[in-house]
Structures are given as C-alpha cells and as structure tokens.
Structure 1
C-alpha cells in the first residue's frame, strides 16, 4: 500500500510512494483500498503547516499501471462508482493546495498516465518507461471525466495521437509533446523532482487552490460528472 515520508534534505517536501514499502515491482493499480489509502495520506499532507510541496513516485518498472481491472471485472456492478472514485483522485490532485510534482519512474499507463498529468509538473525517467493511453487497443472508452482531464491538460493533437493510437511515449517523446516538463536519469529522478518541488514550496498559500480551480475549471467540471452507462456509451 502507498506510504508517505519527508524528502531527505528537504523536509518541506512530502514524498508519497505509490507502492508498498520494500516492494520494488508492484503495478500500483487503482484498487479501492489503494485509492482510500492515497486519500488518507493526502489528508495527512494537507494537515501539515507552513511551506510544503508534494512529490509522488514509485519504484521499479511501474509508476502506475492504471485501473485495477482484475478487481473491476470481479465487481462489475460497481463499475460506475469505482470510476467516480478514480476521478476523485485526479480532481483532488488538480486542486491540491500546494505544488505537486510527479516523478514518473517507470510505465504510466491508462489511469496511471492520467494520474501523472493531474500533477502541476512531471519529471520522467529518461532511459526507460512509457507514458501511454492504451484504451483504444483494449476496447475501452474514456469517461467524460478522463476526456476532460486529458483535453484540458494536453494539446489537442497530442490527445489525438495518444488517445486514438495508443502511442507509447518515451521520455524524449513525452518531453517534446509537452506531456512532461523534464527528464532525468534513474539515479537522479527523485532528487530532481524533489528539488523542483522544494523550490516551489513557499507557494503554498491560501490562493493557490483558488488559482488551480480556475485554471482547471473545465477539467474539474468533467471529472465531477457522475459515470453512467449512457456517458460510457454502453446504453442500449
């Protein structure tokens, strides 16, 4: 399960690890328990005082491999509520009342790719890992909220390529497309993300969340739309 620590040498930066402590190759999928734990840790970060910033990261092959499809197929009757809970994670990060940086250490697929772009900034491992939206190949639609998030955070032609072809973006491709802001070697990835976050920690002021809500108004409105069979395209 995810866990939290303060960054070494930069105590004002909280590092939210998406995987289980000591586990190096988890997929960090959006299981309902994982979602609940993330919210609990974000509550803890928000309860802190003074300058602060947030970095998310994982270890090994994956940043996040997206929806927990095993759980979803076993609990298909809960699909709409589950997707709304996924949207709530994106919504919370878009409006988080301190600077946020995703340290994309490995593959960010589907909802994991969307998790990354819900942060203010992204640093991606240079030598390995892809940012990818594979829904076209999986026969899965994008929800209203997911579409709003992607089109609100990325240029239109990037969305066309990413959403309709499932292109796998390496760090170089993602940097050129504006999906990420910086790349770094595996050994320096977290330090690079923490340094970026620490430089912004003093921007944790009451007006920051207000600015973010206005900046991302359309994406937030889409993420707030309840998921139904009709807006998933499954209605008969």
Structure 2
C-alpha cells in the first residue's frame, strides 16, 4: 500500500504523507518519496510541488517502536533511504513548498526543512529535532539539511540540545516562514507554489543547485556509500534504552 498520495492542481503536484495519525517514516515511505519526487522532476507539466501530511501531524519522524530493533542490514537500508529521500527533496530542481499541518518532529522536521518555503498551520504543535534525546545520531543528509537551513541559535537549540519549540519560537528563529489558519493552509501553500512556479525554471534549478552545492556534494557522497559513518554503527543499546524511556513519558 502506498504511503503517499499524489494530487495534481494544474501545474502543481500535491504530495501527502498518508500514514496518520503521526505519519511516521518507514524505510518504504522514504524509498517511495525518493521515487515519486524523481518522477515529478522528470515531468515537464509539473512546475512546483507542495508536501503536507494527513491528520494532526506533518510527521513525527521515525517510529521509535520499530527502529531501535532493526538489525544491521535493516539499519543500513534505512540510512540509505533517509539519505536518498532527504537528498532528493533538498536537490529537487523545482520549487517545493511545505504545508506543515501539525507536529514536525525529528525526521519530520528535516523533511519540512528540505522545502524552499515552509508554511505552518496556526495550531498547537511540537517542533523539534529529538534525535539526541533518543540517542539517534544523524545520517549525513539529515544533518546537512538541518545545518544549512537553521540559523546557528536554532541549530544549537534543536540539533545539539534537543529542545522543543512552539509556533512563535519556530517563526522567530526562521524554522517556518509564516503561519496561517489551518483551514487555509493548503490553499496558501498551493498559491505560494504557483507564484514560485512562475520563476524561470532553468535559472531556478541552476541557482538552487549552486546555492546548496556544499551540502548537496556531501549528501551525494553519502548516497553513493562514501562518507556516511552511520553505515558501520548506528543504533545500539543506548538507543534502545533512550527510545524506551521516551515512549514511557506522558505525551
């Protein structure tokens, strides 16, 4: 079963994470995302895209009930899927707008950070990069995207200290560009994508690639199997203990 739903509104593709309530990321979802955005990049009739989620969350990242129990080969496949998905979205040659409908946690926030414009619904939501709290170190693509897109103060608080931000903090630190009433989120995101779609496509793709060249080079090397330290050792006993403790905490 597909974990993504794709809709077209003329020249705009709307890609929806369809694993509610939390749209937790699986290896299969990430592999599908890489494939879908590769196909959309090749379609001349698609000029821009919006990515959003079903339910109360944009995405809460990886499933902590499953990931710490993966064996070595499953971990390696997941790491490659993370690098491929985040790499594909961050390098996507057309305008990409994130319509953040709810919680954006860990890999879910990284996914939003891959977008060129980030619009959030004005709802009570959690914004965090919780990896350090559950003893999960960052694959190359996730860290490169977060480091490139966050201002130093936000990177320190989110990446290193694992803090959670509310909407106003996320806006003030530039994590999101703006927030809108939830009922108008998708309309606003599609409208923004249409405006960006009017930019000259070849110039946009070239400038985006050159603007992100340093990060994209590191991600490309990781996708090729080079320079990815997580491939040798990623999740261990510390991760299992920290993830179990996190799951026991009240919401």
Structure 1 CA distance, aligned partners of 2:36 and 2:45? 17
**How many pairs are equivalent?**
228
Match of 2:28 among 24, 33, 40: 33
- The correspondence of residues 131-170 of structure 1 with structure 2, limited to 5 A, is 131-170=127-166
TM-score, normalised relative to structure 1: 0.87
Match of 1:106 among 89, 102, 107: 102
Structure 2 equivalent of residue 228 of structure 1:
229
Structure 2 CA distance, aligned partners of 1:48 and 1:143? 29
In the TM superposition, residue 71 of structure 1 has moved relative to its aligned partner by 4.0
Q: 1:58 to 1:185 in 2, by over 3 A?
A: same
Q: Is the 8 A contact 1:51 1:204 kept in 2?
A: no
Structure 2 equivalent of residue 210 of structure 1:
206
Structure 2 equivalent of residue 126 of structure 1:
122
What secondary structure is seen at the aligned counterpart in 1 of 2:165?
A: coil
Q: Greater shift after overlay, 131-140 or 184-193?
A: 131-140
Structure 1 CA distance, aligned partners of 2:12 and 2:31? 22
In the TM superposition, residue 137 of structure 1 has moved relative to its aligned partner by 1.5
Structure 1 CA distance, aligned partners of 2:59 and 2:216? 22
Check if 1:116 corresponds to 2:105: no
Match of 2:61 among 56, 62, 66: 66
- The correspondence of residues 11-90 of structure 1 with structure 2, limited to 5 A, is 11-20=10-19, 25-50=20-45, 52-77=47-72, 78-90=74-86
Structure 1 equivalent of residue 6 of structure 2:
4
In the TM superposition, residue 115 of structure 1 has moved relative to its aligned partner by 0.4
What secondary structure is seen at the aligned counterpart in 2 of 1:101?
A: strand
Structure 1 CA distance, aligned partners of 2:31 and 2:102? 23
Structure 2 CA distance, aligned partners of 1:109 and 1:231? 25
Q: Deviations over 1:17-67 (max 9, x none)?
A: 1115xxxx3322221221232233223422322461100011221111112
Structure 1 CA distance, aligned partners of 2:126 and 2:17? 17
Q: 1:182 to 1:134 in 2, by over 3 A?
A: same
Q: Is there any run of 5+ residues in structure 2 with no aligned partner, and where?
A: 237-251
Q: Is the 8 A contact 1:152 1:219 kept in 2?
A: yes
TM-score, normalised relative to structure 2: 0.82
Structure 2 CA distance, aligned partners of 1:60 and 1:154? 26
Q: Is the 8 A contact 1:152 1:218 kept in 2?
A: no
Q: Is there any run of 5+ residues in structure 1 with no aligned partner, and where?
A: none
Structure 1 CA distance, aligned partners of 2:230 and 2:91? 27
In the TM superposition, residue 172 of structure 1 has moved relative to its aligned partner by 1.7
Match of 1:171 among 147, 153, 167: 167
In the TM superposition, residue 204 of structure 1 has moved relative to its aligned partner by 5.6
In the TM superposition, residue 212 of structure 1 has moved relative to its aligned partner by 1.6
Check if 1:92 corresponds to 2:98: no
Taking only aligned residues, the RMSD between alpha carbons, in angstroms, comes to 2.3
What secondary structure is seen at the aligned counterpart in 2 of 1:183?
A: strand
